[in-house]
Every structure is written in C-alpha cells, then in structure tokens.
Structure 1
C-alpha cells in the first residue's frame, strides 16, 4: 500500500469517528486539519446535491482556519476541538455568514460576529465549515424554505431529516462532520437526532447562552423555552460540547458559574429508570412500543431497576396532560411577533367554548394571552419543575419515545397546522394531527429539564429509531452518561447505506 493509500485510508477511518477521536488524531499528527477539512468538503460535494444539508459555506474561510489550526498544532498548542471541522445550524450567527432562519426577508442579514455558542466552539479550535438547513422561522418538523430548498434524510431521500435542526442531523449521519450545534423548543434537536440515528442533547433551560441566534439580529432577551445544545454521533461528544457551551453569558460570568453535578451512576445496573411509553388518553403506537420495549430489554439485561407509571404511588408522576396544556400555551406565546393564525385556525379559535381547557385551545389563545394569564402559566411551570424534582428522588432518569413515528415522507401542504401524518397502531394506521406529534418532545421543555436523544437501532423498514432520557434539573451529565453506557454495551450510531467512508455513488434511496 502506498503512502497516499495509507493516508486516504486514515481519512476514511475518521469519516464517522467522534469529534474526540478526530481531535486526538490531529494532536498526534496522524492527520492535518487541512486534509481533514478537504475530506469533509469532498463528502459534502459528493453527497449534498442529494441531501441539501449544508446550505451556507465559505470554503476558503474554512481552509484559512484549518491552516491556522495546523500552525497552532505545530507550535504544540492543544484544544478540545483544535482542527476539527464542524457545521452549525443556520440560525446561529457566524461572522461573515448570512443568518436567515429560512426567512427570505432576512436573506441579506450578514452576521458581524459569532454567536456566543459558536464563538465558544471556535475558541476550542473548531473549524467552521458552514451552516445547515432549517425550516422557515425554525417552525416545523421538516427542514425546507424558500431560500435554501428542501433537505432530505440520508436514510431515505423521500423522507425528511426532521426540523428544525434537520440539516444538522443529516450532516452528521452522512459523515460530513462529527459535531453540530442546534436549538430546541419543541424537539428541534431531539427529533432530527431520532430521525437520522444520531445523538442530541437538550440542555437544562438557561444553561447555554442563546445570544446571537435567530432573526432579527441584535436581540438580547432569549426566547422563552428555547435552548441551544449539541448533536453528535456519540454520547461522549455531547458532553465534550456541553462543557464548552456553559458559562458563556458575559454579565452572569462576573459572579455566577454553573458547575454541573457529576452523573449519578457509572454503571447501568445502578440506574433507577421510569419508563413511559403511552401518552395519557392516547393509544400506544407500534413505534413507541418498539422503541421502549427495546430499551427496557436492554436495561433489564444490564440489571437496571425499571418501573412503569402504573407502579407509582398516586401523585408522584406529574399530570402530563395538564402540563402539555401549559407547554402549548407558553410555546404559542413565546414570540414577540407571532405569525397570524391560518384561516382554519382562526375559525377554531372563534368557536372555542369559554371553558375549553385543552392543549389545542391553549395554543389558539396563546398569541393573545394576557400577561396575567401568562404569569399563572409560568407559576404552573415552576411548580411543575419542583414536582419533577420530587420524582427524581425516586428515579434517576425517565425514558420515553422521542416521537410516535420514525422519519416521515415529505409533506409541504399548507396550512401546516392542518397536516396529518400516518402513525401505525395495533388496530391499523391512523392520520395523526401535526401538533399531536410533540407530546414526548414537549415533556422536558416546559419544566426546563435536560433530555438526551439516543439511537437504539433500526425498525423493520430500516429507519433509525431513538428514545430519550429525561433527567433532573441541571443534571445533564446523568442523561448523557446514561446514553453513553447504553452505547458502550449495545452500540449507537449506524452509518446509512450508500454513505460509506470510501468511494460511493450517492445518497441511498431505499
């Protein structure tokens, strides 16, 4: 084998490697940052006409950053991500790049400086390759918009990679980069991670600074409920990135510093796990059953203590239905300038009974919610966080599905809130409304709890499936460690067919 062949083989071996492994190879001098970047750019050029995951690029800027990383490595400098190529969600400001959040009204919005989160990853040595696709206004479970077009799932290009961090998850699964940066308010990290078979972490609310995300630029106040967090192909990379992303808010840093507690356990057999796979008032889908039963089998094999809601004392588990109503209320009122309701939604709003206390009613009323009503919902949110804290005296993590279905086929019909999706149940396939796909994703958002989405293999159709681990407030390391321990025993990320590390012909379309 020639020296060139050996070098090519090394780059191929790093294609689906973790960011940690890539950083170690760079630090050891086994590969240069320039070569690793060129390998990433070549894969994007090879596959992204089909996937359309990375939609904003500055190759020459990335090459300059890679050369600087190589010079730093040659001087003996080291950093957690020194020379490692990454991409970030389009809604994050990156100096010199456009930030639009998929909205044509902001097509000329060039960022003057990095967002706080991007700056932290760059300071750790990361080479910013580009930005990944999103839905319009980050408000969909699919990633498409009038500026950048449609992103496809590397497991099946007829299906969505999810949203709103859909391009992020697709870029990871396709082997472009090893680390991504996303945001999550309704599963926007965890659902794309699930649809693509990668890992995603929604941090505890307020832990990661959001300044420099979204449009219009220059906002100082964070959007309520929204968080920023990492996506990766390994659980350990989630923790690596999280450590870099905390304590970034300049004003708070003058006096306050978050020191996250260590993971509660270092062995699966010591975990006390509450498993929930059926939303109150809804039948369990076949997908939900598959995901949870697979996790339960693995946990019991490893000696973990697994419990179900039916075994709990009355009142220990918070009321999920009531919580979801509050979530929908605060979610719908979280925008300073909310979009107008569709004509169909406006009619439903006008027809609501005064005593309708459903989640759908809360969503319809949310854009015009009185501040006094918002304060009451906020009080319920804080009380709910304390309810979960009591539950976590008995359990270490709560495991649920991420969604009631795997990646679904593209559906761009309007209005969005009228869309339905085929979900399989024991008695057949039913069309499930758009907003009923968010029960599991919303569960940890309202109380601000950490949640880690982790892959658990493939379903009978060859699509990735994942579960999520929800943990106690500020105990992010516990959910990530739980996912990592399962990964160590049972494996995690699987590369999609057609995206091998060597020469390939294009995206897989099963």
Structure 2
C-alpha cells in the first residue's frame, strides 16, 4: 500500500474493506522510524494502534474513519506534550484535546503523533528548535521545509502521515506547503475554532484572533475540503463546478517582490495551461489594491496581534483597522465579477538552510490574502523543487478556492512524491 495515497482515498478503501487502518498505522510508524527528515517528533503508538484496530472492527462513523494522521505540535492532544519546541514545556502533557483534534477524532481520524514546529512558532521560513532540532525538506535535505508548520508539510511530502493540521498567522501553512510540494489552506479567519491552540498554561481567550487561522495541509485539495468541513462546519457551495467556468484574476510578478526565474516559468506555464482549459484569465491587481502598501499594512496587523496578546496598545491601530476594512471592501467588489485570484505563494522555491536569515522577504505574496482575511490555498506546481500557486477566494467562500485547486490539478499537476533518494543528508 503506497504511503502517498490521499486521505479521502484511504478513507474510501477502509470503508470498502480493501484497506486495514491497523496495517496503515503500523506502516506509518515504520516510515516515521526510518525517516531522516525529523518531521514527526512525538508519537502515541499504543493508543493509535488500539484505535486503528477498533476502526477495522466497526462501521465507518465519519469521513475520516480509520485515517491515521499527525498534527502540528501547537495543538493540545490528550496524553502528548504540547511543547511549541520549547524545552521548558517538554513535560507539559495535555489533559484534553484542542477543538480541532476533538472534531478530527469525531470524524474518525486517528492521531498518531505530532509534527515539528519552529521554536514558539516564531519563523515562517524554517522549522527548528532547541528541543527537537531541525526539520529537513524531503525533496532536498539541504533546503528548508518552511515554517512554522514545516514538520507538517515535510511529514506529508515524506509519506509519514495521511493528513495534517497547522496554523497560519504569516504564512505558516502556505509557505511550508509551497516549499514541500503539498497543499495547504489558510481558511477565512474564524472558520475553525482556536481553543487548545496555545502554549502550555491556563486556557485564556485570545484578545484578538485576526489574522491568525488554523487549517489543513494535505496531498490533495479534496482532502483540504474534507478536513475543513469536519473542523469548521458546513461550507458554502463553490461558485463553479467545472474548471472552464471560472474567471480568474492573475498576477504572477511584482516589482516589490520579483519572483525567481524558476518560479516565474512554472507559474506562467500553469496559467497558460489553465487558459487553454477554458479558464478566463484577467490580468492585473484589483482596483484600489496597492500590493506593496498591503504588505506593509499586514506587518502592522501581525505586530498588533502580538501586542494584543501581551495587553499592549499600538499607536495607529484604529487607522490601520479602517484601512483593513477598506481593503476588504475593495476585494469584495473585485470578487463580484471574479471567482478566484491567482498569484505566487512565495517568490522562490525552497531556499537553503541559513541560520543567519529570518526569511522575512517571503511574506509579500502571503500578505495579499491575509490582510483582507481571504481564504487561500497553496497548490503545488513545477518540478523536483516545486513552486506554489496561491489560489485566493472570496471571504467565507473557502470551497471556491479549494474547488479551483482541485480541478486545476488535472491540468497543472498536483502532489508528486519526492524521487527516491532525492534528499541529501545534512550534518546537523
């Protein structure tokens, strides 16, 4: 049984009795033990194997029945440490599940372990911490998998899990998805509850949730849809059901953050193929959207998020909130006539590990969906080192973006497993 099957395919095989959840789970543990990318850092073998055996004995009770999966080590999972990569939290074992974990289990998923994160989730370009060390990109061990959900994306690309769940404040789902060649969704903020997504300590309400969001990573867009439905509730129907019916706005480069030649070529080829498939392509930024100003304003919103958690006020917050509201209205007007907006996820493929660099320049393209609070899918395109095509949808119409990414996979290619032996061992 291939370790790279999608979660929906695995679930269907288990329902039909063609696959055994116990066998799949044992195979995942064997792959985790043999992997050299350091993506899965905590496991719960006994309880997971017991749950898998129970799934094989019972009638399917949800869309993810019997599907083994991992989850980012920032969510509380009962019986496992919640460390955020901080040694001081190494013994902080959760008493109860986060809301996301509760809902995934209710849908039949089996949580087998937790994936690595950057220390305190403080970097979106890499994943390493003093507790578990560095995570490597399965496609090339000398390159970063991104962060802070780098362990999640690397686990999917390396065949160590069927499904993953991460978090995205400043690209922490989309950037790793792009670097590792998998799918990642930042939902519309507020779609999925954040309870149980916090460092160890007494539960406390977030003073300000925007722009933080939690969402799934997967090897197919269809898996994103299932995971979002079970964790966030019923979705609005997609605007279109056939690829050739979509109207897509497109911007593939910008002087404020030029893409590399490799990424530019992959994106251009993908959009040309989509146009040949009937997608109506409309080039250019939406009216009243200043991309450089939007990226700068997003930086303030991230700072405002952290200030609110610390009980601090920031000068200019009211003006920035008005600016954000105006931008949201501009995108809403744009999406009255356009279904999705296509742009790079990041301007480069996965860069080399560099301890001196915080990768701050990766946020420009991420900000275009994050500041107005729009759902965005990073979809893999390209070659051995894939690029990320960001599919941005209208607010609260997450399934429109997911459906476009799903249909587009037949045209531009979806997840492709890393070639055997593609990773190079990095001295750590």
Give the TM-score band, short-chain normalised: over 0.9
- Counterparts of 1:147-186 in structure 2, within 5 Å, are 147-186=131-170
CA distance in 2 between counterparts of 1:220 and 1:369 reads: 17
Question: Which residue in 2 is equivalent to 1:329?
Answer: 300
Query: Structure 1, residues 56-88: CA drift from partner, whole Å, max 9, x if none?
Result: 11111211211222232xxx3432111110000
Among candidates 89, 108, 120, match of residue 103 of structure 2: 120
- 1:424 matched residue in structure 2: none
Q: What residue number does 1:142 align with?
A: 126
Following superposition, the deviation at residue 260 of structure 1 comes to 3.0
Residue 294 of structure 1 deviates from its aligned partner by: 1.8
Decide which of 131, 137, 145 is 2:114's aligned counterpart: 131
Please list, as runs of the form range in 1=range in 2, the aligned pairs for 1:372-383 lying within 5 A after superposition: 373-383=316-326
Match of 1:84 in 2: 67
In structure 1, runs of 5+ residues without a counterpart are: 1-10, 248-258, 340-366, 414-418, 421-433, 500-505
2:100 is the alignment partner of 1:100 = no
Q: SS where residue 395 of structure 2 aligns?
A: coil
Determine helix, strand or coil for the equivalent of 1:200: strand
Match of 1:343 in 2: none
What aligned pairs does 1:205-244 form with structure 2 within 5 A after superposition?
205-217=189-201, 218-221=203-206, 223-244=209-230
Q: Given the superposition, is the C-alpha separation of residues 164 and 35 from structure 1 closer, same or farther in structure 2, using an over 3 Å criterion? A: same
- Partner of residue 453, structure 1: 378
2:341 pairs with one of 375, 392, 398: 398
Partner of 1:411: 354
In the alignment, structure 1 residue 439 sits paired with structure 2 residue 364: yes
Q: CA shift at 1:284, angstroms? A: 4.3
| Counterpart in the other structure of 1:4 | none
Conserved? CA contact 1:212–1:219, under 8 Å: no
Residue aligning to 1:481: 403
Aligned-pair distance for 1:384?
A: 1.2
User: Which residue is 1:54 aligned to?
Assistant: 40
Q: 1:283 to 1:27 in 2, by over 3 A?
A: closer
- Check if 1:64 corresponds to 2:55: no
Instruction: Give the match's secondary structure for 1:488.
Output: helix
Q: For the residues of structure 1 that align with 2:198 and 2:396, how far apart are their CA atoms?
A: 25
Check 1:317–1:455 CA distance in 2 against 1; reply closer, same or farther (3 A cut): farther
Unaligned ranges ≥5, structure 2: none
Deviation of 1:336 after TM superposition, in Å, equals 4.6
* Superposition map of 1:254-403 within 5 A: 259-309=234-284, 316-336=287-307, 370=314, 373-403=316-346
CA distance in 1, matches of 2:349, 2:20: 38
Distance 1:130 1:283, change over 3 A: closer
Higher Rg? 1
Instruction: Note the alpha carbon deviations across 1:115-145, whole angstroms, 9 max, x for none.
Output: 0001100111111110000001111110100
The answer to whether the 8 A contact 2:289-2:327 is kept is: yes
SS at structure 2 position matched to 1:51: coil
Residue correspondences, number: 423
C-alpha displacement of 1:386: 1.1
Using the alignment, how far apart are the partners of 1:488 and 1:292 within structure 2? Answer: 15
- Alpha-carbon distance in 1 for matches of 2:221, 2:301: 30
Aligned to 2:180: 196
Secondary structure at 1:492 match in 2: coil
* Mapped partners of 1:337, 1:391: distance in 2: 31
Q: CA separation in 1, counterparts of 2:117 and 2:249? A: 33
Taking structure 2 as the reference length, what is the TM-score of the superposition? Answer: 0.94
Mapped contact 2:70–2:164 kept (Cα < 8 A):
yes
CA contact (8 A) 2:229 2:235 kept: no
Q: What do residues 80-114 of structure 1 show as CA deviations (whole Å, max 9, x unaligned)?
A: 11111000001011001111111223222211101
Q: Distance in 2 between matches of 1:507 and 1:291?
A: 22
Structure 2 vs 1, CA of residues 383 and 411 (structure 1 numbering), >3 Å: closer, same or farther?
Answer: same
Q: Secondary structure of the equivalent of 1:379? A: helix
TM-score (norm 1): 0.79
4+ residue stretches of structure 1 with deviation over 6 A?
none
2 CA distance for matches of 1:438 and 1:264?
28
